[in-house]
Amino acid sequence: MLYTRWHRYTQHVQQHVFLTAGRQHINGVQLYYERTGIGKHAVLLIPGALGSTLTDFGPQLKSLNKEMFTIVGFDPRGYGRSRPPERDFPPNFFERDAKDAVDLMKALGFSRFSLLGWSDGGITGLVLAARNPELIHKMVVWGSNAYVSQQDLSIYHAISDVSKWSARMRKPMEDMYGAEVFPKIWKAWVDGISQFTHRPEGSICMELLPHICCPSLIIHGEKDPMVPSFHPQYLLKHIKGSRLHVNPEGKHNLHLRFATEFNKMVEDFLDE
């Protein structure tokens, strides 16, 4: 009898620990998502520009503690496997992504969750946490900014021509979008993120930061070529009670390059 019960339990655990994938109709589009884990603490992963669960969060979906957390990754509308529609960048695209993310988690049955947001996904996370304080347990963001400076604009324009990227950097995006479509979407993103320079102080969501009340961990790679160090310092100053961890060797994709260290830090923070 004991063996039978244990066998049924392990079958139940295995069934839910293995990654499952699906699509959910949200705000007029079909959003692709992946889900793994059986923990009571739900965690949403929000990818960066043109990103997806496949390109952005492999080590997290694979290795974050699946007994402690239920982990959900999704492809924002127009990205990855959430196409159609083709991606566009209206002035409210971060707000739109934040609403999509909230409504997806509600549709999946989560009334409260934590979030991990990388790069653009971190910006979406900032908006989401500020707009929905009652929903967010904790937040981790890295490679993110609340405004676009002239220095940022120079960085974006310097990388707008993907033909100048290394083949290794292009490959994941070309595999996802195709060699002809990827440059067009990337150029549209550069134009989309650049439009914030027309706002006062280049604000993307500066005015929202004081409304974030969840415990927040900001992570920064000291060698990040995309996000100057004044951005995490600004977030630290304006998000009440937040803390900052700097990885001295980290670049923009530090969660992939230093996945074991990153995952352990995140697990410890979420479990506090």
Q: What is the CATH number of the domain that holds 208?
A: 3.40.50.1820
Q: Are 89 and 191 in contact (CB under 8 A)?
A: yes
Range of the domain at 65: 2-271
Domain total for the chain? 1
- CB half-sphere exposure, 255, CA atoms < 13 A: 30
What average pLDDT does range 78-88 have in this prediction? Answer: 97
> Annotated catalytic, 41?
no
The pLDDT, as a whole number, for residue 2 is 39
Q: What percent of the chain has pLDDT over 70?
A: 94
52, 114, 224, 231: the catalytic one is 224
pTM for the structure as a whole: 0.93
pLDDT (tens digit per residue) in 162-187 = 999 999 999 999 999 999 999 999 99
> Annotated catalytic, 224?
yes
pLDDT (tens digit per residue) in 206-244 = 999 999 999 999 999 999 999 999 999 999 999 999 999
97, 120, 242, 252: the catalytic one is 252
> Annotated catalytic, 152?
no
The pLDDT, as a whole number, for residue 18 is 82
> Which among 118, 161, 114, 72 is positioned nearest to 257, based on CA atoms?
118
